Amino acid sequence: MHLLTIVSALVCVGLSTQQTNYCSPSLCSNGGPHIACNGLTKLSASCGSGSQEFSLTAANQALILDLHNKLRSTIASGKQSYKTNAFYPQASRMATLQWDQELANIAAANARRCVYGHDRCRNTVKFPYAGQNIAMKWYYGMTFGVNQLITGFVNDWYSEFKDANPSVIAKYPSSWTGPQIGHFTQIVSDRTTRVGCAMVRFREGQYTKDYIVCNYALTNIINQPVYVAGTACSKCTTGCNSKYPGLCNQNENIVAKP
């Protein structure tokens, strides 16, 4: 059995699904084309035989949310260290992440290409500054279940916490020369209220490749805080989440814009 590697990347940019014109230039102020403009509605022929798109069930979606919100709760509560005996600050108003099907549908338009890479634009009318995490795992002689893959991908993104620091949280840098940190900061962005993901499996030679795309309501915004530091949940106007300490209630009205 051979596990080869996991790779991941993040892009920083900065309606109903049926009615939105994704070819409208107004959706992509950062430049297009929009991935859902005449986007794929099924797997590309280049994915090859034996490829499949995973239909993420309600249970899969719940796992994605639970993984994200537990990690967000950890950092929002001031319990995440970045080095020995040094912790990230608490977050005063961090949203509880919820599922968004439109973001998931747009993520699928990327995943169905079976080509690892960020799209130039994935914005929606509601979320005009949408962010994105992607990752791919390739291997042979092994088998992985959907939940196992999801858990590995999300935890791998978050593991970048060890390479960041509170100054990054206070002001997302315009340039960064160290190891990747953007997946981690995307996960703990306090104004990121929604996420939607898609995942495919395809083969290349003897290798199986699993590719996930997660789109978020708000990307990392250069020169702005990833989250506002302060006593956990102290600025939440609707109260705190009892399941995920440190996060605001699900019905907190947080606008996912710069």
239 lies in a domain? no
238 lies in a domain? no
Task: Provide the residue range defining the domain that includes 185.
Answer: 2-37+44-56+100-216
pLDDT of residue 31: 85
Whole-angstrom Cα distance, residue 224 to residue 13? 13
CATH number at residue 205: 3.40.33.10
The CB-side HSE value for 88 (13 A sphere, CA atoms) comes to: 32
pLDDT of residue 8: 52
The single residue listed with the structure tokens 């999801």 is: 150
Whole-angstrom Cα distance, residue 125 to residue 134? 22
pLDDT of residue 2: 36
Q: Are 56 and 104 in contact (CB under 8 A)?
A: yes
Mind listing the pLDDT tens digit of every residue in the chain (258 residues)?
333 344 555 443 333 445 799 999 999 998 899 999 999 999 999 999 999 999 999 999 999 999 999 999 999 999 999 999 999 999 999 999 999 999 999 999 999 999 999 999 999 999 999 999 999 999 999 989 999 999 999 999 999 999 999 999 999 999 999 999 999 999 999 999 999 999 999 999 999 999 999 999 999 999 999 999 999 999 999 999 999 999 999 999 999 999
Q: What share of the chain is helix, strand, coil (3-state, %, to 5)?
A: 25, 25, 50
76 lies in a domain? no
Which residue from 80, 58, 210 is spatially nearest to 148, judged by alpha carbons? 210
229 lies in a domain? no
pLDDT of residue 30: 82
pLDDT of residue 108: 98
Q: Are 134 and 106 in contact (CB under 8 A)?
A: no
Q: How many domains does the chain have?
A: 1
pLDDT of residue 10: 46
155 lies in a domain? yes
E strand segments, the chain: 2-11, 52-54, 81-83, 86-87, 98-99, 131-140, 194-204, 207-216
pLDDT of residue 4: 39
**Residue 179 three-state SS:** coil
16 lies in a domain? yes
Which residue from 102, 99, 133, 108 is spatially nearest to 118, judged by alpha carbons? 133
Which residue from 210, 16, 181, 214 is spatially nearest to 97, judged by alpha carbons? 214
Whole-angstrom Cα distance, residue 74 to residue 94? 11
- Kindly give the pairing relationship between strand 131-140 and strand 207-216: antiparallel
Backbone angles phi, psi at 207, to 5 degrees: -100, 140
pTM of full prediction above 0.85: yes
66 lies in a domain? no
* Burial zone of 152 (CB within 10 Å; 0-12 exposed, 13-18 middle, 19+ buried): middle
127 lies in a domain? yes
Distance of CA 217 to the CA centre of its chain: 9
- Angle 17-248-87 from CA coordinates, rounded to 5°: 115
pLDDT of residue 39: 92
Q: Are 64 and 153 in contact (CB under 8 A)?
A: no
